[in-house]
Structure 1
Amino acid sequence: MDAQSYNTALTELRTMRDEIKKARTQLAKLETDRNKKIVQLASYEKAKAERIAPAAGLGVADVVAIAPALAPDSLAESDIPQPLSPEPPTARAADEPAPHSPQQGATAPAMTTTAGPSAAPPLPARTTAPDPPAVGETPRKLPTIPASNSGDAWFTHTSGLASTRPNFTQQARSTVFLDTDTGVLVHRNQTHRLDLAGRSAADILTAVFHTVPDGVERIYITAGDPWHRDADRHPYLRDAVAAWLNAPALDWRTDTGRGRDRMAGHFVHARNPVGRYQRDNSDSHVEIRSVGEWFDLDGDDPATVRDAFVLLWQALRRHWSDAVLMGSPSQTGRDLWTRTIPARGQHADGFPVLSEELRSLLHATAGQGRNELLTPPRVPEQLPQLLEYDRTFAYAKHTWKPPVGTPRRITAATFAAWSQKEQMRVLYGCGHWQVRVTVPATWEHVGLLPAPAPGDRAWHYPAEPGTTFTTWAGGPEIHTALSNPIQPWKIEILDGILWDDGKPLDDWAKKLKETWTNLTAQAHFQGDPHQARAAHLASRAVRSILLYGIGSFAQRPRMVTGTTPRNLERDVPPDAEIIGFDDELITWQKPTGFTRDPNAHPEWAAAIWSGARAALLTQRHRDDDTYAGALHTPPGSVIAFRTDALYLTQPQNWPYHHQPGDYLLKGHLTGPLAAPTTEEELLTARNAGRAALTTARET
């Protein structure tokens, strides 16, 4: 680019800036006018929110928030449905089962699925003073366990529902790997080049089945993201993905599912969607999936990806003679775990599933990874440097003691009656606790416990001295707050759930860790760069199997996404949220609650997530007799937490032995540099730091 084109581009950029500003102003005006119209409609005595919502392109909850008079008299404020948002990809299963879509022309709505070194002080008795509200915002209120017998009845298992060892063998699926940018298709040991025309699902299916006529059941897209081809025509990526998945495909229709491990319908995800198709008048079933569910690629060709899957399968077969790679890492992880359930002994009858009430409580009160960006004035406006320390294969470190057995309720009175030794013992055990927390008056470091923040499933970590809040947290985090190396926090136990310690995941996690270690060693010592890269990708896939396998235990309430013709908007479900629309279709989503999933164990996911969040704060390395984590850095030096990683302004001499949970220096960006104030700025700095560290090591 020369000086003239540079100046021309700057002029164009300023024009775009002004157009964006005008568009935002116009949008704000339209939204204001829309809200006024909703209020006007609400004055009609027979007005109903479920009729107004689809016409406004909003959910019922949003309409009621604008015009409270539309709320049903019998509906308490806390019962009004809240707007829904998608789960983060590091913890939600990437392919939940879904109802099928009716065929083209049907009038019914079409659906597609979318611990520390210091001793702890005595715990204070419970108080009854209300928590002060947060300044300037209203955090969501977390659920509680009902008092007396009604709450005690939750502490049981769901009748007739338990995780048991399967008595069948999974069938392998014929799989191909396709780069939709280049048209390169790899099928077993053969490579083909396809003409994909417009890269629609129909184009891909036609080209693949013409090239591999004996049948394919799974198509992994390695590059090209064809579901984003019309992204500029839609306001959101999800809309573009939904349109791509639902476009008519000659001779194909949306798969309605078959067999015990078949899933029906498409799964709408902004970046890793799943298209499930069935050929008309045939028994051919095929999935189109993104390989991004398994690992991130960096220009890798389909042959390398194929070799990575082969290496992964071979490595898993050393531990599971019947191992089969299923469509996603979450499916694979869940299936492999069921094959470690004991055939005899204590748990030969399986692991019972908690009551739906306790599962719902855990869903609402057990957060996932900690993601927090600390901005000025909590950190300096100019940073001397930015270092990224990432915990290697972190969740594998915390699978050794998940809860088992029938849970017990521990009330505030019961807890207060115990000795301090007994209290600390149970807090170090397998429990989930409702607590009132007070930050010490002289606290100067990061927050220790998650608190509910405004927004669906949003969490923040209060650190302001003297702040008091009520929340739920797992035993590892409570124990850390009480025994952290700086200063104990004040914790008041209000209620709790306590399980026995168990080892339901030990065999599964041990085998996955050994598989990961083996593949990581192959990637390091392999002389062939192609095979070394394939082994590295395979090791990343093992990480995904464990990570998303744990997430699948959480069993989130299932979300269904559907479309309804504009001329049939009355058929939009009254409890649905409108997430998009065009001239022909209204796209909506709604929760469908919990299913009778025999492998639903949110108590295991919650315990692992809590342990991982606690380890970001403090983690002991016994062999080195030292500690690592955010609380072992100076105040003001922590810039961000991102699930398994810490971003710091000072280098740390933490031990690294290539073991799960060890902190690995992954990026180092020298300064001075401005402190990031948005996630985008943090990710930009992270990527620059990783590139700079790689360059420094190579030179």
Structure 2
Amino acid sequence: MDAKEFTNGLAELRGVRDQIKKAEKELTKLQANRDQRIKALGVYPKAKPDRLAPAAGVSVKDIVALVPQLAPTSQEEEGPDVKPSTAEPQAPVEPTGASAPAMSPIAAQPATESLPSTGDTEAATPNEQPVITVAAAQAEPAEQATPATDPATPADASATRELPSIPEGAAGDRWFTVARNLVSTRPDYSQQPRPTVFLDATTGDLIHRDQRVRLDLGQASAHEILTAVFAHVPDSIERIYVTAGDPWHRDADRYPYLKDAVRAWLDAPMPNGWKVESRRGNDRLAGHFVPDRHGGTPVGRWERGDQHVEIRSVSEWFDPEGADVATVRHALTLLWQALKTDWPDVVLMGSPSQTGRDLWARTIPTKAGARWADGYPVMSDEIRQLLHATSGQGRTELITPPRVPEQLPALHEFDRTLAYGKHTWASGVGAPQRVTAQTFASWSEKEKANALFAPSHWQVKVTIPDDWNHVGILPSAVEGDRAWTYPHQAGRTFTTWAGGAEVNLALRNPITPWKIEILDGLLWESGTPLKEWSEKLKTAWSRLSAAAAHAGTDDLRKAYKLASRGARSILLYGIGGFAQRPTTTSGSVPIGSESEIPRDAKVTSISDDTVAWERTKMSRNPNAHPEWASGVWSAARAALLSTRAKSADGQTVHVGALHLPPGSVVAFRTDAIYTTVMPDWPYNGEPGDYLLKGTTPHSVTAPTVESEFYTLQSLGRSLLQEQQHDLI
């Protein structure tokens, strides 16, 4: 075999790999279809798992996991989230709830309304009284062309994912507590910095303090990197930041999935006494970290005697964009200096998420008599699990023909600047109040509206208006990678969970109000646990951004620009760090020893001699506050559709997707809108403002898959850079 045959063979092998991926994707769809059918058949009163299992080609355990009520009642434990019942399972009943109040639509607000000085977008401040109308107000829609729709199109191509509910009665009421002896308190110690070096794994350039050397990294395996680095730096170095090269991706072509290549790189043999780090003092972050998602960056941790070191990517902080290794080091130095103004003892930890949580903890009030001076309590395990299961993050959606024209007249990208920083002015604190449909119905219209303006999370039954012709507002859970979709079909009814900001917007949107019925909800006391922290970070970001605009050299301008992005990452990932993922454990006991099953576990299968169980729990993390992350994400998704900005003359302007013509929105990406029209939205460089980030001013074919979309995204950004360069 010669080199040409080998190259051709590799190409054919990649083709087989792509066919396998395609088949696996189709298999995933079939499995989701199968699971939905199992759930549908599982509501039949006489359904038995041993009859469903052979028909579906799965085990009894799999059946019980999908339809828990098919597990024998005698094996169910009376945990806090289980309501024992001897009745046979019944078909689900369509939920009914309390109607949400009619509220004045956004478009009806006076054009001269001024923005609250510290208020959130479209949400009332705690002292502001929302306007309540007697009848449902409807904004007169502008005369715009309605995009072609296909009534035969299914509501969603993905199978609906069932979301959890709060148990009825006392069993559910017990959820509404705080975790015992678990509070977020201000640390009484200072973080210790880890000596760090910076390495360009492409060129081999290494920066240690002010010294620069060129290394021979060989094939850039983990062992070769450690050997080369420690030949020039002292053993006290504990962190190696890779600024370019991504060495853990070097064998990506040999593996079907990128994470497999990363895992192989991390787990490769390590001679000369190196081994995977097991634990260092109280540091739980020992061992390697392999991201589940594409694009995530791994962290490798090794030890040799008393020597400890980690290799990680600086892209956790920002995209270096080809910057020299010395410029990257300078950027993190500038970031540290900017933060030191407000946090004299600041230490940049391994990631912006770790750094963000540490800096936040140092803003917790300690003054005697101050509200929450004893720390912010952590909610019960059940409420944290509920929020994890029912709260999405950024909105990612590609809208394809016939909802948009097959040939787009243009495509423009508008991205919200430091968006999450706009939504940290108020958050829910303490144990939430439960608001059942009955409780909500008993309130006055003013009390209902106040609740929807407060930090809250609601289970709702939603009905989209019959004449709706725009994008969806509220999320709906689906199986598969997307996790959440945004139903838009006129007349559709669905049940979901959503934050107060989104429910509020559905009722007040500038087109026509949606019908909302409250089924259950969580309502918190409003507090400001994130305000001081986010204000300091926004100040650092603003200073660094301004310095970048006035820097005297290209390298200095780049360093300040990267440093400002680092401040943004601390805020962004710090908020994400408050969300907490549950961990799942499983086990089995012999028949007759069911008392050994943990009380909060559920039975997943029963065989001739064993009972298998599974338990999902939250760790005792004193800084676990998913209610804060959930609230910020909900407010940001709502602002993507409608929010307020201040024009040059100080007037309020309403901006967002719902203020664009129907059929003009092509995609959403977390904080960005891609549209075929060029709106005249003001940009003042403030958090939450929409910045034009890309523009394709000519006709293009509408993307139908992600790869086509990202191609157009890159094209638009390149064209805008060319336009801006021509203006200089």
Instruction: Please say if residues 432 and 473 of structure 1, whose CA atoms lie closer than 8 Å, have aligned partners that are also in contact.
Output: yes
- Say if 2:286 is the partner of 1:259: no
Equivalent residue number for residue 555 of structure 1: 580
Distance in 1, matches of 2:60 and 2:689, equals: 54
Equivalent residue number for residue 365 of structure 1: 390
Equivalent runs, 1:225-264 vs 2, <5 Å? 225-250=246-271, 251-261=273-283, 263-264=285-286
- Say if 2:186 is the partner of 1:169: no
Question: Which of 177, 180, 186 is matched with 1:159 structurally?
Answer: 180
Amino acid at match of 1:183: G
Question: Deviation digits for residues 299-322 of structure 1, max 9, x if unmatched?
Answer: 111101000010000000001011
Distance in 1, matches of 2:190 and 2:165, equals: 42
Question: Which of 316, 338, 350 is matched with 1:315 structurally?
Answer: 338
Amino acid at match of 2:279: G
Amino acid at match of 1:165: R
- Identical positions, percent: 55
Equivalent residue number for residue 380 of structure 1: 405
- Say if 2:445 is the partner of 1:428: no
Instruction: Please say if residues 459 and 518 of structure 2, whose CA atoms lie closer than 8 Å, have aligned partners that are also in contact.
Output: yes
Equivalent runs, 1:318-337 vs 2, <5 Å? 318-337=341-360
Equivalent residue number for residue 533 of structure 1: 558
Equivalent runs, 1:126-141 vs 2, <5 Å? 137-141=158-162
Distance in 2, matches of 1:332 and 1:383, equals: 43
Distance in 2, matches of 1:29 and 1:443, equals: 36
Instruction: Please say if residues 426 and 526 of structure 2, whose CA atoms lie closer than 8 Å, have aligned partners that are also in contact.
Output: yes
Distance in 2, matches of 1:387 and 1:375, equals: 16
Deviation at 1:260, TM superposition (A): 3.4
Larger deviation, residues 433-442 vs 673-682? 673-682
Question: Which of 610, 628, 637 is matched with 1:613 structurally?
Answer: 637
Equivalent runs, 1:431-470 vs 2, <5 Å? 431-455=456-480, 458-470=483-495
Distance in 2, matches of 1:426 and 1:160, equals: 29
Distance in 2, matches of 1:498 and 1:292, equals: 38
Change (3 A) 1:293 1:70: same
Equivalent residue number for residue 297 of structure 2: 272
Secondary structure at the counterpart of residue 499 of structure 1: strand
Instruction: Please say if residues 462 and 517 of structure 2, whose CA atoms lie closer than 8 Å, have aligned partners that are also in contact.
Output: yes
Equivalent residue number for residue 20 of structure 1: 15
Distance in 2, matches of 1:204 and 1:559, equals: 36
Deviation at 1:18, TM superposition (A): 11
Distance in 1, matches of 2:560 and 2:200, equals: 20
Secondary structure at the counterpart of residue 175 of structure 2: coil
Amino acid at match of 1:193: R
Amino acid at match of 2:275: R
- Say if 2:696 is the partner of 1:654: no
- Say if 2:643 is the partner of 1:626: no
Deviation at 1:215, TM superposition (A): 2.3
Deviation at 1:620, TM superposition (A): 1.4
Equivalent residue number for residue 143 of structure 2: none
Equivalent residue number for residue 67 of structure 1: 57
Equivalent residue number for residue 544 of structure 1: 569
Change (3 A) 1:466 1:173: same
Instruction: Please say if residues 17 and 256 of structure 2, whose CA atoms lie closer than 8 Å, have aligned partners that are also in contact.
Output: no
Distance in 1, matches of 2:567 and 2:70, equals: 41
Secondary structure at the counterpart of residue 221 of structure 1: strand
Equivalent residue number for residue 47 of structure 1: none
Instruction: Please say if residues 132 and 446 of structure 2, whose CA atoms lie closer than 8 Å, have aligned partners that are also in contact.
Output: no
Amino acid at match of 1:451: S
- Say if 2:327 is the partner of 1:300: no
Q: Matched residue pairs, number?
A: 591
Change (3 A) 1:619 1:31: closer
Question: Deviation digits for residues 86-142 of structure 1, max 9, x if unmatched?
Answer: xxxxxxxxxxxxxxxxxxxxxxxxxxxxx8244766699xxxxxxxx9576530100
Equivalent residue number for residue 601 of structure 1: 625
Change (3 A) 1:512 1:71: same
Distance in 1, matches of 2:681 and 2:233, equals: 52
Instruction: Please say if residues 64 and 70 of structure 2, whose CA atoms lie closer than 8 Å, have aligned partners that are also in contact.
Output: no
Amino acid at match of 2:225: I
Where does the alignment leave 5 or more consecutive residues of structure 2 unmatched? 35-52, 72-104, 109-130, 137-153, 586-601, 603-613
Deviation at 1:24, TM superposition (A): 2.9
Distance in 2, matches of 1:597 and 1:311, equals: 31
Question: Which of 545, 559, 564 is matched with 1:520 structurally?
Answer: 545
Secondary structure at the counterpart of residue 210 of structure 1: coil
Question: Deviation digits for residues 462-515 of structure 1, max 9, x if unmatched?
Answer: 010000000000011011000111100000000000001100011100100000
Distance in 2, matches of 1:26 and 1:614, equals: 35
Change (3 A) 1:488 1:74: closer
Deviation at 1:298, TM superposition (A): 1.4
Instruction: Please say if residues 176 and 432 of structure 2, whose CA atoms lie closer than 8 Å, have aligned partners that are also in contact.
Output: yes
Deviation at 1:422, TM superposition (A): 1.5
Change (3 A) 1:652 1:192: same
Question: Which of 233, 237, 245 is matched with 1:224 structurally?
Answer: 245
Distance in 2, matches of 1:308 and 1:466, equals: 52
Secondary structure at the counterpart of residue 409 of structure 2: strand
Instruction: Please say if residues 178 and 431 of structure 2, whose CA atoms lie closer than 8 Å, have aligned partners that are also in contact.
Output: yes
Instruction: Please say if residues 457 and 500 of structure 2, whose CA atoms lie closer than 8 Å, have aligned partners that are also in contact.
Output: yes
Equivalent residue number for residue 102 of structure 1: none
Secondary structure at the counterpart of residue 541 of structure 1: helix
TM-score norm. by structure 2 comes to 0.77
Distance in 1, matches of 2:472 and 2:322, equals: 39
Change (3 A) 1:137 1:661: closer
Larger deviation, residues 529-538 vs 16-25? 16-25
Amino acid at match of 1:617: L
- Say if 2:715 is the partner of 1:688: yes
- Say if 2:502 is the partner of 1:477: yes
Secondary structure at the counterpart of residue 434 of structure 1: strand
- Say if 2:405 is the partner of 1:408: no
Secondary structure at the counterpart of residue 698 of structure 2: strand
Deviation at 1:27, TM superposition (A): 8.8
Instruction: Please say if residues 121 and 488 of structure 1, whose CA atoms lie closer than 8 Å, have aligned partners that are also in contact.
Output: no
Change (3 A) 1:332 1:65: farther
Change (3 A) 1:351 1:496: same
Equivalent residue number for residue 90 of structure 1: none
Deviation at 1:25, TM superposition (A): 7.9
Amino acid at match of 2:537: L
Equivalent residue number for residue 200 of structure 1: 221
Distance in 2, matches of 1:188 and 1:156, equals: 50
Where does the alignment leave 5 or more consecutive residues of structure 1 unmatched? 1-8, 40-62, 82-114, 125-132, 561-574, 576-589
Equivalent residue number for residue 664 of structure 1: 691
Equivalent residue number for residue 6 of structure 1: none
Question: Deviation digits for residues 659-681 of structure 1, max 9, x if unmatched?
Answer: 00000001001221000111211
Amino acid at match of 2:627: E
Question: Deviation digits for residues 280-333 of structure 1, max 9, x if unmatched?
Answer: xx2111110011111012111110100001000000000101100000000000
RMSD across aligned positions (CA): 3.0
Distance in 2, matches of 1:26 and 1:470, equals: 33
Instruction: Please say if residues 624 and 655 of structure 1, whose CA atoms lie closer than 8 Å, have aligned partners that are also in contact.
Output: no
Deviation at 1:418, TM superposition (A): 1.3
Distance in 2, matches of 1:65 and 1:646, equals: 45
Distance in 2, matches of 1:19 and 1:211, equals: 40
Deviation at 1:457, TM superposition (A): 6.8
Amino acid at match of 1:204: I
Question: Which of 362, 369, 375 is matched with 1:350 structurally?
Answer: 375
Change (3 A) 1:684 1:78: farther
Distance in 2, matches of 1:591 and 1:392, equals: 41
Secondary structure at the counterpart of residue 425 of structure 1: helix
Instruction: Please say if residues 523 and 531 of structure 1, whose CA atoms lie closer than 8 Å, have aligned partners that are also in contact.
Output: yes
Instruction: Please say if residues 178 and 430 of structure 2, whose CA atoms lie closer than 8 Å, have aligned partners that are also in contact.
Output: no
